[in-house]
């Protein structure tokens, strides 16, 4: 390739829709380096002496499974300084034996080029597909179920974050934020903690909290944040241990027991700083 920004969209379309095996083999041999690599959600071909032949085999398998594939490159971007090419592709991939009608799926392609003999060759190629688009390509009727599962997982993660923040506020309300309790900066009353008029208190608590272990100067504010995180870890491990006990699962219990002891040790040694 002499002009990647002009040639690569045509190359991607030809590789996905080529109907002649000889043309496909010639295209792969002409466009890829002998040690090229390909990453896809369903397979990975690492760099190697014979990796180009493996990539050819994967393209041939796709053409065998879906001989009537149609592809269209919607948009492209080429970084001339780093020789990196991006493209958004819409594709109709219809499995030969599938009774279902094909549906359009989108994916993003990232290609790293290598210059040899005043020409550019594909050295590394990555293809990124959303789980819904991947299911649309394989089994379209199941795509709504994948969407429902993703929505459910999103709600679960949001609920987890809300529980974490609420436990943080509870801990700060019971044990204070360092010496701010004695100075009167933190108001009392559990119900007022989540009321709009007490938003200043909530903001003060969140500003002194870290998502992970604090690596810096140790003081009462940092200790309060550390205690809050250890309390949440302690509660989470207890829930897992209780569930494993009810289900009579022994292996997770053995693995989580040292973590539980560590949480208890840190909470017991850190609480004296939280109540200063």
pLDDT for res 274: 41
Regarding pTM above 0.85, the answer is no
9-37 as b/e, with b when 16 or more CB fall inside 10 Å? bebbbebbbbeeeeebeebbeebbbeebb
Q: Are strands 32-40 and 43-45 parallel, antiparallel or unpaired?
A: antiparallel
Question: For the chain, which domains are there?
Answer: 4-138 (3.10.450.50), 146-274 (no CATH)
Q: Are strands 84-92 and 119-129 parallel, antiparallel or unpaired?
A: unpaired
Asked if pLDDT for residue 219 goes beyond 50, the answer is no
pLDDT for res 181: 44
At what angle are helices 21-31 and 4-17 packed, to 10 degrees?
Answer: 150
Matching residue, tokens 């679960």: 156
Rounded to whole angstroms, how far apart are CA atoms 108 and 89? 6
pLDDT for res 19: 87
Rounded to whole angstroms, how far apart are CA atoms 37 and 111? 10
Rounded to whole angstroms, how far apart are CA atoms 162 and 174? 18
pLDDT in tens, 152-208: 999 999 888 888 777 766 766 665 554 444 444 444 444 444 454 456 666 666 666
Q: Are strands 84-92 and 70-79 parallel, antiparallel or unpaired?
A: antiparallel
pLDDT in tens, 91-133: 999 888 888 888 899 999 999 999 988 899 999 999 999 999 9
Provide long-range contacts, Cβ within 8 A and 24+ apart, for 97-102. 98/139, 100/139, 100/140, 100/141, 101/140, 102/140
- Of residues 266 and 164, the one with the higher pLDDT is 164
Beta strands in the chain (DSSP E): 32-40, 43-45, 70-79, 84-92, 104-116, 119-129
DSSP state of 21: H
Q: How sure is the predictor about 28, in pLDDT bands with cuts at 50, 70 and 90?
A: very high
Q: How sure is the predictor about 73, in pLDDT bands with cuts at 50, 70 and 90?
A: very high
Average pLDDT over residues 10-24: 91
Asked if pLDDT for residue 23 goes beyond 50, the answer is yes
Q: How sure is the predictor about 64, in pLDDT bands with cuts at 50, 70 and 90?
A: very high
pLDDT for res 118: 87
Question: Strand order of the sheet with strand 84-92?
Answer: 43-45, 32-40, 119-129, 104-116, 84-92, 70-79
Q: Are strands 32-40 and 70-79 parallel, antiparallel or unpaired?
A: unpaired
Average pLDDT over residues 203-218: 60
Q: Write down the mean pLDDT value for the chain.
A: 76
């Amino acid at each position: 390739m002499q002009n990647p920004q002009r040639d690569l969209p045509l190359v991607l379309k030809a590789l996905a829709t080529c109907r002649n095996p000889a043309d496909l083999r010639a295209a792969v041999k002409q466009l890829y380096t002998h040690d090229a690599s390909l990453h896809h959600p369903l397979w990975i071909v690492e760099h190697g002496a014979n990796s180009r032949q493996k990539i050819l085999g994967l393209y041939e398998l796709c053409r065998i499974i879906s001989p009537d594939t149609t592809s269209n490159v919607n948009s492209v971007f080429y970084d001339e300084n780093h020789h990196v090419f991006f493209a958004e592709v819409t594709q109709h991939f219809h499995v030969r034996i599938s009774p279902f009608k094909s549906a359009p799926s989108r994916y993003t392609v990232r290609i790293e080029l290598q210059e040899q003999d005043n020409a550019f060759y594909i050295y590394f190629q990555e293809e990124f597909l959303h789980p819904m688009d991947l299911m649309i390509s394989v089994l379209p009727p199941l795509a709504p179920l994948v969407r429902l599962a993703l929505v459910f997982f999103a709600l679960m993660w949001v609920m987890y974050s809300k529980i974490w923040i609420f436990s943080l506020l509870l801990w700060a309300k019971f044990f204070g934020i360092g010496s701010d309790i004695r100075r009167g900066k933190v108001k009392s009353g559990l119900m007022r903690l989540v009321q709009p008029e007490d938003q200043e208190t909530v903001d003060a608590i969140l500003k002194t909290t870290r998502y992970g272990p604090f690596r810096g100067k140790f003081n009462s504010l940092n200790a309060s944040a550390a205690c809050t995180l250890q309390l949440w870890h302690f509660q989470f491990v207890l829930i897992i241990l209780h569930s494993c006990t009810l289900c009579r699962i022994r292996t997770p219990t053995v693995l989580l027991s040292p973590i539980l002891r560590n949480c208890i040790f840190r909470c017991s040694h850190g609480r004296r700083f939280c109540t200063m």
